[in-house]
Amino acid sequence: DAKTTQPNSMESNEEEPVHLPCNHSTISGTDYIHWYRQLPSQGPEYVIHGLTSNVNNRMASLAIAEDRKSSTLILHRATLRDAAVYYCILRGFDEKAAGNKLTFGGGTRVLVKP
Amino acid sequence: DAMVIQNPRYQVTQFGKPVTLSCSQTLNHNVMYWYQQKSSQAPKLLFHYYDKDFNNEADTPDNFQSRRPNTSFCFLDIRSPGLGDAAMYLCATSRDRGANEKLFFGSGTQLSVL
Look at residue B84 and give its three-state secondary structure: helix
Which pLDDT score is estimated for A1?
54
Contact A43 B105 (CB under 8 A): yes
Confidence of residue B97 (pLDDT cuts 50, 70, 90): confident
**pLDDT greater at residue A95 or residue B48:** B48
B58-97 exposure pattern, b = at least 16 Cβ within 10 A, e = fewer: eebeeebbbebeebbebbbebeebeeebbbbbbbbbbeeb
- Residue of chain A nearest B89, judged by CA positions: A43
| Residues above pLDDT 70, as percent of chain B | 98
- State the smallest CA–CA distance between residue A103 and chain B in angstroms: 7
* Alpha carbon distance B102, B17 (integer Å): 35
* pLDDT computed for residue A105 by the predictor: 83
Nearest alpha-carbon partner for A19 in A77, A92, A67, A95? A77
Phi, psi angles (nearest 5°) of residue B5: -115, 125
Instruction: Inspect the interface and report whether the beta carbons of B103 and A46 lie closer than 8 Å.
Output: yes
Q: How far is A88 from chain B (nearest CA, A)?
A: 11
Q: State the average pLDDT over residues B81-101.
A: 94
- Residues A27-35, mean pLDDT to the nearest whole number: 91
First-to-last alpha carbon distance for chain A, in angstroms, is 38
C-alpha to C-alpha distances, B67 to A97, A110, A113, B7, B76, nearest whole angstrom = 19, 36, 44, 15, 7
Max Cα–Cα distance, chain A, nearest Å: 46
Between residues B67 and A100, the one the model is more confident about:
B67
Q: Contacts of residue A4 in chain B, CB cutoff 8 Å?
A: none
CB pair distance less than 8 Å for A104 and B107: no
Q: List the single residue in B with minimal CA-CA distance to A105.
A: B42
* pLDDT band, residue A65 (cuts 50/70/90): very high
Asked if the Cβ–Cβ distance from B42 to A99 is below 8 Å, we say no
How does pLDDT run across B34-49, given as a tens digit for each residue? 999 999 999 999 999 9
Q: Residue A96 has what pLDDT?
A: 57
CB contact (8 A) between residue A100 and residue B99: yes
B-chain residues near A32 (CB < 8 A): 99-100
Bridge partners, A38 (sequence order): A85
* Disruptive mutation site among A39, A45, A46 for chain B (greatest number of B CBs within 10 Å): A46
Closest-CA residue in chain B for A48?
B102
**C-alpha to C-alpha distance for A107 and A55, rounded to whole angstroms:** 20
Query: Going by C-beta distance under 8 Å and a sequence separation of 6 or more, which residues neighbour residue A97?
Result: B55, B57
Give the model confidence (pLDDT) of A101-113 as tens digits. Answer: 788 888 999 999 9
Nearest Cα neighbor of B54 from B37, B84, B77 is: B77
Question: pLDDT tens for residues B11-40?
Answer: 999 999 999 999 999 999 999 999 999 999
Confidence at A97, pLDDT banded by 50, 70, 90: low
